[in-house]
Amino acid sequence: MDFEFTTPTVSEDIAARLRTLIHSGELGPGDRLPPERELAERMRVGRVSLREAIRLLQASGYVEVRRGATGGTFVTQLDRPYQDWLRQMRNRVDEIGDILDLRIGLEARAAALAARRRTDAQLSAMATAIDQLASSDSRTSFRAADAAFHGAVAAAAHNKRLETAIAQARGEMFTPVDRLVYTELIMSSQAAHAAVHEAIRDRNAELAARAMESHLEQTRQELHHVIFGGSRTE
C-alpha cells in the first residue's frame, strides 16, 4: 500500500505553533498577539509567511483581526475550534488516550529531572503558578496558570528537547476546563500541582514522577467525561 506524505508549508508550521500556544492555555481568549514585526522576529520567520499563518488561523476561527487605533490580532472565544476539536476526538476514540499516554511519559520524566536539577527561581515560578491558579476567576486565567505551572516544571528539567516535546503534546488538546466547572477544577488541580511542587522542592524524583502521573490520569478522566460523557456547565 502506498502512503503519501505532505510537508507542511512554512505558514502552516507557524499556524501550528500558534495553535499549540492557544490549546495549551499560554494564549487565551481576548489575548492580543504581539505586533507583526515583533512576532516574526520572536518566531524567527518572515513577515509574509506570518501573515499567511494568521489568515489560516482566522479562517479556522482561532483569531480575529481588529482595525483601528486599538486594533490588532486577538484570540477569539475559541467556540468554533473547540467544537471542531471535540468532533475530531470523538471520531478518533483512541487518540486522546494516546496523547495522555505520551504526556504522562514526557511530563513524569520531566518532573523527576526537575527534582534533581531545579533552581530556587524555577521552584518559585511553580509556586507562583499555583497561587495564580488558586486566585483564578475565569476559565482564561485558569488556563494561563495551568500552562505556567506545567511550563515551569518542563523548564526545570533543563532539557530543551523534552521541554519542546511537552509543549507540542500539550498543544494537541484543549485543557478540560473549557467545558467543565472550572471552580471544581481549581481545587483538584491546585492540590495536584502542590503535590508535584512539594516533591520537586524536596528533590524526591520518584515521588515527583508519581505525583505528575496521578495528576495527568485525573486529566484523562476529565477529558473523557467532556468528550464522550457529556459536558457539565456552570
Question: Where are the chain's structural domains?
Answer: 10-77, 80-228
Q: What is the pLDDT of residue 72?
A: 94
Give tens-digit pLDDT for 99-123.
999 999 999 999 999 999 999 999 9
User: 10-77: what fold?
Assistant: Arc Repressor Mutant, subunit A (1.10.10)
3-state class (DSSP) for residue 204:
coil
50 Cβ neighbours under 8 A, 6+ residues apart: 11, 14, 36, 39, 40, 43
CATH level 2 (architecture), domain 80-228: Up-down Bundle (1.20)
| 156's grid cell | 526545570
Angle between helix 36-43 and helix 47-59 axes, rounded to 10 deg: 100
Give tens-digit pLDDT for 152-194.
999 999 999 999 999 999 988 876 555 555 566 788 899 999 9
pTM of the model: 0.80
Q: Is the pLDDT of residue 50 over 90?
A: yes
Q: What is the pLDDT of residue 182?
A: 56
